[in-house]
Amino acid sequence: MMFVSETVDVPMVEVPPENIILKDDRIGRRWQVALQGFAIGRYPVTQAQYAAATALRPSVHAGPQHPVESVSWLDAVRFCNALSRVSGLQPCYEVDAALPGATQITSSNGYRLPTEAEWEYACRAGDQSPRYGALDAIAWYPDNSGGHSHGVGQKQPNAWGLCDTQQCVGVVLRPV
């Protein structure tokens, strides 16, 4: 199922709930995470979407359909709040200008950044493989990008229809 924001076009894909296993090979640890269903952006956040919500254009490699880059985690949090506001939703983060961070408002219905577990699960589309296809077919990287970003959605999507998950520079999601 696809969702689109009312004011800024943000195609979303519904991801089903699941219990997943995460692992850290560096320390030999595995653990289970119970994920609720959520909706995640079909594409990385584009420069046009970022500008429509924030009136800012921070990217070095300009192009309205190119992914946003050159932003910090806090910039991404502020974008989520701005996108929530322009979409008539509650911001998901409380940002204190005097402190170097943000606090998530768990009762919010707005846009937020995915957790590590949500991101892993969505990228793999429920599969356990590290990639869902040949790297040239699914991602831009130094050997095939010409040293610059490209418009989103030009590479093969995963099984759930998410694009550019192997080199993603910015995604947002909402609870369903």
Closest CA to 11 of 168, 172, 121: 172
**Residue 157, both tokens:** 């999507």
What are the pLDDT digits (tens) for 119-157? 999 999 988 888 888 999 999 888 888 888 899 999 999
Residue 171's pLDDT band (cuts 50, 70, 90): low
What confidence score (pLDDT) does residue 174 get?
A: 55
What confidence score (pLDDT) does residue 169 get?
A: 52
pTM for this model (two decimals):
0.86
What are the pLDDT digits (tens) for 44-59? 999 999 999 999 999 9
In this predicted structure, the answer to whether residue 6 has a pLDDT above a threshold of 60 is no
More confident residue, 148 or 176: 148
More confident residue, 174 or 104: 104
Closest CA to 92 of 106, 75, 76, 71: 106
Is-contact 15 122, C-beta < 8 A?
Answer: yes
In this predicted structure, the answer to whether residue 176 has a pLDDT above a threshold of 50 is no
DSSP for residue 144: H
- How many other CB atoms are there within 10 angstroms of residue 91's CB atom? 21
What confidence score (pLDDT) does residue 141 get?
A: 85
In this predicted structure, the answer to whether residue 168 has a pLDDT above a threshold of 90 is no
Distance separating alpha carbons of residues 156 and 55, to the nearest angstrom: 30
Strand partners, 175: 38
For 70-111, strand residue ranges (E) read 93-95, 102-104
In this predicted structure, the answer to whether residue 40 has a pLDDT above a threshold of 60 is yes
| Distance, first Cα to last Cα, the chain | 11
More confident residue, 2 or 131: 131
- Which residue type occupies 49? Q
Q: Which domains does the chain have, with CATH numbers?
A: 2-70+112-140+149-175 (3.90.1580.10)
What confidence score (pLDDT) does residue 8 get?
A: 82
What are the pLDDT digits (tens) for 61-111? 889 999 999 899 999 999 999 999 999 999 999 998 888 889 999 999 999
What confidence score (pLDDT) does residue 173 get?
A: 52
The pLDDT of 27-53, averaged and rounded, is: 95
